[in-house]
């Protein structure tokens, strides 16, 4: 399922969300140029800036920058397009809710939670981990908590046929989470590249829990206290894992 837009109004232009998208796209274009110039240049860049669990545990200080740099790297066109679509659709309302001062700390904290969740599953892994979707999963978890009934225009595929549907966020994002949880459990102990499912799971849970704590402090309804009863509520490759 591919979200295209939601019916949740925003109060201001989401400059931070747009900025994150722009930086991710620029880094990907640089990666694409490196891949075009030769595999060696790309692999050197990948192993220098991607998050490698075994490296982080062996040298926490030296490898610490990769906890952030890896959030701006992607494996291929589909990887970055999918991540940026989700960030664009759901990021603006969370930026509105948190404000410009808290949105970026929340985004990066979600990404860190995602990374540590994946590391806990396989701390000795020497597979590079790249992608923004751990941090974006935090945005999705926050959105589910604050706007569960917001309608999202979604492109769905049933038996190969595409169909546009307006789905409540709780259905779309709940289904997304299940699609991470089931294969994530089956992937425990697996070696090699693929999708870092537990990064998605960890980021989503972290973002949701953060909003369950933040919402009541700010007087915002959450999924536990009737959020969304009134529409329009707003509160303010094989050799790497991709998330």
* Per-residue pLDDT reduced to its tens digit, 107-144: 999 999 999 999 998 888 899 999 999 999 999 999 99
The CATH-assigned architecture of domain 2-219 is Up-down Bundle (1.20)
The residues, ordered by sequence, that sit 6+ positions from 157 with a Cβ below 8 Å of its Cβ are 1, 163
- Whether 241 has a pLDDT exceeding 70, the answer reads no
For the chain, give the longest Cα–Cα distance. Answer: 54
CA 190 to chain centre: 22
Cα gap 205→182, rounded to integer Å: 15
Cα angle 34, 37, 39 (rounded to 5 degrees) comes to 70
* Per-residue pLDDT reduced to its tens digit, 11-64: 999 999 999 999 999 999 999 999 888 788 899 999 999 999 999 999 999 999
Cα angle 221, 225, 229 (rounded to 5 degrees) comes to 70
What three-state secondary structure class fits 190? coil
Q: E strand or H helix at 5, and its extent? A: strand 2-6
Give the tokens for residue 74: 């992607």
Cα gap 202→71, rounded to integer Å: 14
**C-beta of residue 125 within 8 angstroms of C-beta of residue 53:** yes
Domain boundaries, the chain: 2-219
* Per-residue pLDDT reduced to its tens digit, 13-24: 999 999 999 999
Strand 241-242 versus strand 161-168 pairing type: unpaired
Cα gap 25→20, rounded to integer Å: 9
Cα gap 74→145, rounded to integer Å: 27
Cα angle 14, 232, 205 (rounded to 5 degrees) comes to 65
Give the tokens for residue 230: 């009134």
- Whether 190 has a pLDDT exceeding 70, the answer reads no
The mean pLDDT of 153-164, rounded to a whole number, is 82
Give the tokens for residue 120: 């806990």
The mean pLDDT of 142-165, rounded to a whole number, is 89
- Determine what percent of the chain is predicted with pLDDT higher than 90: 69
* Per-residue pLDDT reduced to its tens digit, 70-94: 999 998 899 999 999 999 999 999 9
Q: How many CB atoms lie within 10 A of CB 194?
A: 16
Q: E strand or H helix at 138, and its extent? A: helix 133-146
**C-beta of residue 7 within 8 angstroms of C-beta of residue 151:** yes
The mean pLDDT of 181-206, rounded to a whole number, is 79
- Whether 235 has a pLDDT exceeding 80, the answer reads no
């Amino acid at each position: 399922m591919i979200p295209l837009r939601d019916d949740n109004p925003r109060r201001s232009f989401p400059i931070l969300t747009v900025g994150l998208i722009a930086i991710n796209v620029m880094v990907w274009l640089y990666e694409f140029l490196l891949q075009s110039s030769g595999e060696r240049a790309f692999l050197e860049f990948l192993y220098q800036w991607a998050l490698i669990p075994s490296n982080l545990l062996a040298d926490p200080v030296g490898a610490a920058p990769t906890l952030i740099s890896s959030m701006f790297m992607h494996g291929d066109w589909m990887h970055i397009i999918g991540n940026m679509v989700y960030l664009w659709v759901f990021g603006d309302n969370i930026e509105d809710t948190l404000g410009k001062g808290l949105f970026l700390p929340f985004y990066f904290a979600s990404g860190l939670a995602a990374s540590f969740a994946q590391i806990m599953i396989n701390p000795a892994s020497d597979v590079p981990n790249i992608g923004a979707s751990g941090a974006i999963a935090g945005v999705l978890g926050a959105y589910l908590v604050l706007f569960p009934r917001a309608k999202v225009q979604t492109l769905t595929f049933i038996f190969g046929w595409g169909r546009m549907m307006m789905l409540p966020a709780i259905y779309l994002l709940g289904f997304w989470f299940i699609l991470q949880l089931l294969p994530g459990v089956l992937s425990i102990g697996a070696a090699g590249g693929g999708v870092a499912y537990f990064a998605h799971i960890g980021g989503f849970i972290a973002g949701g829990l953060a909003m369950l704590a933040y919402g009541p402090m700010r007087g915002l309804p959450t999924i536990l206290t009737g959020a969304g009863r009134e529409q329009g509520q707003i509160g303010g490759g094989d050799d790497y894992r991709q998330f």
